[in-house]
Copies of this chain bind each other. A is one copy, B any other.
């Protein structure tokens, strides 16, 4: 365990400390309520991080809401009725096994401590079984080496009490999904009763994690982007746009396999027997990470979860995983969950309002395919994957793709006199309406290149004396560090991929 609370396994030591150091210094993210010593499991996004996070969220919206015509976003409240979580099963089942050290008093996730000690997952074991494992394998406190107590199960939801008497109990949602399910019938009417229907939420979820760790990977407050697709279960083997993906290769790690393989979508459907509707969306999930986020395919995989690993209501479940050098391991960044009619059925039973629809001449409860992306984890994976260290230069830098970089352009006046800063300002103001752009007029141009590299800005434009004469400026490309002169009127013509909040 290191000072950021990260357990480093087989990893390049110090890699994620370096990342956290630059994250704090340059405004990507840092511990929340920092001046008060921080709040464990909560992080704040600084100005640079927020810009990148917005870009990821907007790229997500563009990709996922574009998957169908009856696809849209809703924004339900974060605080929800207690009965929502009776129906979903969270009140009963959304628990974590916790174990306390009898010596130092520290709390640990029992399954993590045992898993780390015996080298394999114990997901699904009961608290009695885990208490026994700790005794049998003589597993000690990872912090102080003291004796661990009994394993106890704790609900991970945050309750809140409403009203003057505080007699109404409600919960901060532990996942965005339920916000869609309780709105299903109303939205089905609003979108005029068509299937498949896709309803997305991009928003916060809250979980009282026993031991938050690994920076943005396991937080108590985090952002999910999830699309719930409602469809007719009889049509699960039909897929309108199948031709678009049938030859597309997905990097898969099947249950029991030790090595990833590239599998064509039609192989996944025919050899593995996975329904086409599912495979199509698995492809679309990979495309988000590999084509839109531009994560290298060799650091990405779709890992199939076994029956023991997946939730009982998930009939098919692949996690999208990214290899993080800092951890020396793959980490989950998303999931594709075939949740069947589990949730709608539960809400129908507990609310007494049938969730059946009449569609295409029959009455049924639609099934749900959930495409889930953890925005913070994807953000963190991007930081990790595009972090170049001090490769080929004297400062740290990030090679973010244009679509996610915090700014597309940095504009530098060579000097702040002789009309140069006026021209640079004019360029800056002209780019602002359609692009994300920052202005930097202090220090040497070299120092300014370093500063823009440190937050991964793809293009740095310098306005100099020649600009005053012939209207050309120097465009310095981040990755190659090549400098070319271009006419000022050509700047911004080609690059408008960035969708940040300042756009």
Residue numbers of A with Cβ under 8 A of B are 24-27, 30, 32-51, 53-54, 58, 61-62, 65-66, 69, 72-81, 83-84, 98, 100, 107, 154, 158, 160-166, 168, 170, 172, 179, 182-183, 185-187, 190-192, 199, 204, 206, 208, 210, 220-221, 347, 350-351, 353, 432, 439, 442, 501-502
Contacts and interface: CB of A to CB of B under 8 A. Distances in A.
A77 B39 contact: yes
A440 to B, nearest CB: 8
A56 to B, nearest CB: 12
A72 B54 CA distance: 12
Contact of A46 (B34, B186, B442): B186
Per CB-CB distance, the 10 closest pairs between chain A and chain B, nearest first, are: A33-B81, A27-B190, A44-B76, A47-B72, A45-B75, A42-B77, A107-B164, A32-B77, A35-B351, A36-B81
A177 to B, nearest CB: 14
A404 to B, nearest CB: 15
Report how many copies the assembly holds: 2
Nearest to A184: B35
A23 B43 CA distance: 36
A84 B36 contact: yes
A125 to B, nearest CB: 18
A163 B80 CA distance: 21
B45 A74 contact: yes
Given A27-B187, A221-B77, A439-B69, A39 B170 contact: yes
A210 B165 CA distance: 9
A502 B61 contact: yes
A182 B35 contact: yes
Contacts of A179: 44
